[in-house]
């Protein structure tokens, strides 16, 4: 049998994959190279991309699929050696700083002893010629293999020139995009990238789409349209707000690669994530669709006050009958013949009996608002409220948010788990509402589905005392919930801070969101659970520690009290911890449920610390890390 040829993608093919229509708009190409199409079939890629995020996307993609970062020696004093290693020596780093300065304008960064350090200049509307020179290195390797193995096994053992050029262009485009969405966008006025970013994110200047548009972000219509007399408690009439982009790029194919803002830089590792401090390179949108929420274009500084969060671990009680075997239209449980295809596989769903009916829902809202009122006596402002996985429905979430905002005008955001979304589609759902500081009537509500289904094994069924409803003869009971397109939202809530929220299994399963979380590096991650007590030996502590180490997120895992209480009925001296705090300093804090009966909560107080992250190319980033301050039980008085 003939040997099958080894097919390897070339550098040029990889560039065309990311930029299928060219590196720049046709009008830009025609004005600079009016007759190029007549003599060069690849004329659309001859000019370096003018949009820094497009340049970052294509060069980052090359570095990732080519394994380039593994051959980069971080020390500026190292020399080119064997094994295809390459370095950025002191002179080359100065050259990068000069290129960035000429393109970005403003103050020149780099080493403090440079003669032009802190000198200022106007920005360039187009990339400086030196950027085109580096791009030419990639064009010169157009037909060369992209995979690193081709070069490692060559006799001379020298790194190809396009490796250094590609990584340099990644660094340059990242530094040009300094503090993206942390400093005002007006800093990019007059630049092509500035106009792109404004068109993508300043949605207050963009008309709402028709009511039939895809409802991903839901905004308060009364506030947007300026209805007279509208208050935060005005019944919500919603329409789909403009959908945020999946990527900050212009011409890069977002099904191949996406680019998002970045906050924390991992202190460990040697990947493309460790090279950048402003931009995050993400997989294509089909794998995980990401959103960057810009509800408030210029939020408050972290130094203004602490971040005080009311944790309401509802449901406080879970009965065995809240767990129900999944039924089919004929009323039977899952058909027996399914066991032949999937042995020991049955499905269940949760009946939200704790909020069943109007009276229970009103009582639930009243209890939460009373807890919020009680918490306000312990702080200058309650900034956020969090409820665990599957605690609410969307309709109840909507009413609860309005009532809580009336009771606490300083409330900034609410995060909660629910059983459906804003369209009434049943699914294990994560809901977030973020209010605009300057206009409290303006808010964005986002909903997304859980990425993985909950599986209860026989041991868990026994631990929670559920064997009377979920037959222990079946070794695995799976949650009934659709998944569909996986999504992840990043919400900016302070000048230099953003949070992301996860649902239960997403904290434990590294696919698909962990790579994205590590690339973006949000300051805070909230993991909403329906789980047992949150103690250091539990799985949640293990996976929270992973994100705290890389990229440095502070992680709060938070469960409802219902399963904690059920498990404690079956054992002695069980923990009542409903939340666990873990950060990059190694600090681990258990947060216990307030003792007593009825609605109870915990007021968690966090403070922000200045920290300095550093890339493996030596670039430093001044960022914020949130630290645990205290927690205090919130209990309703007898009068409440």
Does residue 311 share a domain with residue 252?
no
Q: pLDDT digit string (tens) for 376-427?
A: 999 999 999 999 999 999 999 999 999 999 999 999 999 999 999 988 899 9
- Torsion angle of the four alpha carbons 325, 331, 336, 339, in this order, in degrees rounded to the nearest 10: -40
pLDDT of residue 188: 63
pLDDT of residue 259: 96
- Mean pLDDT, to the nearest integer, of 307-332? 88
Tell me the C-alpha distance between 285 and 488, whole Å: 11
623 within some domain: yes
- Mean pLDDT, to the nearest integer, of 300-308? 85
Helices 192-201 and 52-66: crossing angle in degrees, nearest 10, is 90
130 within some domain: yes
* Residue 141 belongs to domain spanning: 11-196+247-259
Most confident of 77-86, 180-189, 367-376, 502-511: 367-376
- The per-residue DSSP string of 199-249 comes to HHH-GGGS----TTS--SEEEEHHHHHT-TT--TTSPP-EEEEPPPPS-S-
SS3 474: coil
SS3 176: helix
Residue 462 has pLDDT above 90, yes or no: yes
Query: What Å distances lie between residue 472 and 475, 477, 565, CA to CA?
Result: 6, 9, 21
Q: Residue 166 has which token pair?
A: 């590609």
Does residue 311 share a domain with residue 183?
no
- What average pLDDT is seen over the chain? 86
Tell me the C-alpha distance between 244 and 203, whole Å: 9
SS3 386: strand
Helices 161-176 and 52-66: crossing angle in degrees, nearest 10, is 140
* Nearest to 546, CA basis, from 496, 507, 513, 575: 507
217 within some domain: no
| Neighbour-count burial of 475, counting CB atoms closer than 10 A to its CB (0-12 exposed, 13-18 middle, 19+ buried) | middle
pLDDT of residue 397: 98
Does residue 306 share a domain with residue 255?
no
Q: What is the CATH number of the domain that holds 494?
A: 3.60.110.10
* Nearest to 394, CA basis, from 434, 423, 362: 423
171 within some domain: yes
Beta-carbon neighbour count of residue 424 at 10 Å?
Answer: 9
pLDDT of residue 273: 95
Does residue 149 share a domain with residue 47?
yes
Q: Residue 605 has which token pair?
A: 């107080």
Torsion angles phi and psi, residue 117, rounded to 5: -60, 130
Does residue 493 share a domain with residue 373?
yes
Query: What Å distances lie between residue 375 and 31, 109, 239, 381, CA to CA?
Result: 63, 45, 33, 9
User: Which has the higher per-residue pLDDT, 101 or 179?
Assistant: 101
369 within some domain: yes
Does residue 395 share a domain with residue 253?
no
* Nearest to 214, CA basis, from 446, 53, 491: 446
pLDDT bucket at 152, cuts 50 / 70 / 90? confident
Q: pLDDT digit string (tens) for 111-125?
A: 888 888 888 899 888
Which H or E run contains 95? Answer: helix 90-104
Residue 213 has pLDDT above 50, yes or no: no
Would you say 553 and 266 are in contact if contact means Cβ atoms under 8 Å apart? no
Q: Residue 439 has which token pair?
A: 């206009």
152 within some domain: yes
Residue 283 has pLDDT above 80, yes or no: yes
* Nearest to 102, CA basis, from 71, 126, 68: 126
Q: What secondary structure letter does DSSP report for 70?
A: G
pLDDT of residue 344: 74
* Nearest to 133, CA basis, from 95, 91, 88, 178: 95
Residue 312 has pLDDT above 50, yes or no: yes
Does residue 254 share a domain with residue 120?
yes
Q: Residue 497 has which token pair?
A: 């801070």
User: Which has the higher per-residue pLDDT, 156 or 517?
Assistant: 517
Alpha helices in 483-553 (DSSP H): 505-508, 513-520, 539-549
Looking only at Cα atoms, what is the longest distance across the chain?
A: 86
106 within some domain: yes
Tell me the C-alpha distance between 502 and 450, whole Å: 8
- Mean pLDDT, to the nearest integer, of 70-93? 84
Task: Estimate to the nearest angstrom the gap between the alpha carbon of 610 and the chain centroid.
Answer: 21
Which H or E run contains 43? Answer: none
Would you say 251 and 54 are in contact if contact means Cβ atoms under 8 Å apart? yes
Q: In total, how many domains does the chain have?
A: 2
According to DSSP, the residues that pair with 106 across neighbouring strands are: 121
pLDDT of residue 570: 87
Which H or E run contains 278? Answer: none
Beta-carbon neighbour count of residue 380 at 10 Å?
Answer: 10
Tell me the C-alpha distance between 598 and 505, whole Å: 28
Tell me the C-alpha distance between 142 and 163, whole Å: 13
Tell me the C-alpha distance between 412 and 409, whole Å: 8
Q: Residue 79 has which token pair?
A: 């020399």
Would you say 268 and 550 are in contact if contact means Cβ atoms under 8 Å apart? yes
Hunting for tokens 């070069």 — which residue is that?
151
According to DSSP, the residues that pair with 414 across neighbouring strands are: 385, 433
Q: Residue 216 has which token pair?
A: 């991903």
373 within some domain: yes
Residues 6+ apart with CB under 8 A from 597: none
- The per-residue DSSP string of 565-630 comes to HHHHHTSSS---EEEEEE-TT--EEEEEPPSSSSSEEEEEEEEEEEEEEE-TTS-EEEEEEEEEEE
pLDDT bucket at 612, cuts 50 / 70 / 90? very high
Does residue 425 share a domain with residue 555?
yes
| Neighbour-count burial of 529, counting CB atoms closer than 10 A to its CB (0-12 exposed, 13-18 middle, 19+ buried) | buried
Beta-carbon neighbour count of residue 585 at 10 Å?
Answer: 14
Beta strands in 372-425 (DSSP E): 384-386, 413-420
Does residue 137 share a domain with residue 27?
yes
Least confident of 11-15, 250-254, 300-304: 300-304
Q: Residue 560 has which token pair?
A: 């409802």
- Torsion angle of the four alpha carbons 365, 368, 373, 377, in this order, in degrees rounded to the nearest 10: 180
Nearest-5° Cα angle at 236, 501 to 498: 25
Residues 6+ apart with CB under 8 A from 193: 51, 52, 53, 176, 177
Hunting for tokens 């590096």 — which residue is that?
521
SS3 295: coil
């Amino acid at each position: 049998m003939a040997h099958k040829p080894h097919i390897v993608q070339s550098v040029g093919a990889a560039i065309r994959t990311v930029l299928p229509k060219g590196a720049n708009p046709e009008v830009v190409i025609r004005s600079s190279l009016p007759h190029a199409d007549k003599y060069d079939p690849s004329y659309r890629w001859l000019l370096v991309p003018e949009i820094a995020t497009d340049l970052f996307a294509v060069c980052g993609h090359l570095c990732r699929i080519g394994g380039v970062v593994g051959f980069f020696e971080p020390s500026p004093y190292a020399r080119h050696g064997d094994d295809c290693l390459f370095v950025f020596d002191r002179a080359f780093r100065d050259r990068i700083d000069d290129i960035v300065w000429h393109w970005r304008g403003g103050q020149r960064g780099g080493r403090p002893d440079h003669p032009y350090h802190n000198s200022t200049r106007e920005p360039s509307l187009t990339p400086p010629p030196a950027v085109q020179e580096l791009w030419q290195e990639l064009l010169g390797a157009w037909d060369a293999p992209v995979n690193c193995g081709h070069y490692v096994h060559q006799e001379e053992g020298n790194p190809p020139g396009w490796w250094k050029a590609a990584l340099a262009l990644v660094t340059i485009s990242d530094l040009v995009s300094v503090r993206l969405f942390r400093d005002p966008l007006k800093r990019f006025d007059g630049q092509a990238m500035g106009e792109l970013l404004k068109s993508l994110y300043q949605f207050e200047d963009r008309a709402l789409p028709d009511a039939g548009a895809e409802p991903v972000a839901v905004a308060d219509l009364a506030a947007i349209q300026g209805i007279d007399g509208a208050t935060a408690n005005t019944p919500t009439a919603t329409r789909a707000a403009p959908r945020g982009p999946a990527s900050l790029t212009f011409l890069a194919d977002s099904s191949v690669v996406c680019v998002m803002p970045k906050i924390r830089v991992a202190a460990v590792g040697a990947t493309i994530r460790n090279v950048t401090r402003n931009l995050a390179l993400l997989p294509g949108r089909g794998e995980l669709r990401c959103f960057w929420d810009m509800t408030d274009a210029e939020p408050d500084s972290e130094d203004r006050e602490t971040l005080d969060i009311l944790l309401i671990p509802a449901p406080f009680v879970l009965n065995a009958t809240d767990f129900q075997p999944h039924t089919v239209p004929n009323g039977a449980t899952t058909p027996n013949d399914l066991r032949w295809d999937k042995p020991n596989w049955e499905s269940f769903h949760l009946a939200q009996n704790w909020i069943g009916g109007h009276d229970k829902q009103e009582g639930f809202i009243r209890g939460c608002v009373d807890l919020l009122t009680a918490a306000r006596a312990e702080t200058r402002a309650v900034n956020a409220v969090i409820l665990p996985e599957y605690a609410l429905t969307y309709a109840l979430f909507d009413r609860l948010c309005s009532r809580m905002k009336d009771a606490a005008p300083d409330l900034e955001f609410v995060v909660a788990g629910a059983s459906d979304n804003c369209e009434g589609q049943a699914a294990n759902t994560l809901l977030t509402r973020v209010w605009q500081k300057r206009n409290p009537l303006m808010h964005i509500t986002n909903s997304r589905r859980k990425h993985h289904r909950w599986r209860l094994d026989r041991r868990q069924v026994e631990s929670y005392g559920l064997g009377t409803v979920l037959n222990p003869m079946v070794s695995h009971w799976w949650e009934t919930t659709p998944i569909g397109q996986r999504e992840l939202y990043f919400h900016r809530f302070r000048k230099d801070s953003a949070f992301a929220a996860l649902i239960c299994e997403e904290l434990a399963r590294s696919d698909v969101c962990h790579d994205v979380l590590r690339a973006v590096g949000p300051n805070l991650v909230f993991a909403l659970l329906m789980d047992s007590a949150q103690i250091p030996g539990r799985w949640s502590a293990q996976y929270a520690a992973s994100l705290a180490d890389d990229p440095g997120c502070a992680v709060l895992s938070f469960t409802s009290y219902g399963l904690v209480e059920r498990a404690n009925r079956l054992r002695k001296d069980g923990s009542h911890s409903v939340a666990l705090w873990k950060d990059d300093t190694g600090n681990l804090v258990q947060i216990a449920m307030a003792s007593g009966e009825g609605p109870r909560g915990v007021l968690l107080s966090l403070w922000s610390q200045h920290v300095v992250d550093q890339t493996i190319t030596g670039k430093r980033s001044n960022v914020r890390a949130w630290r645990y301050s205290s927690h205090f039980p919130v209990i309703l008085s007898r009068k409440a």
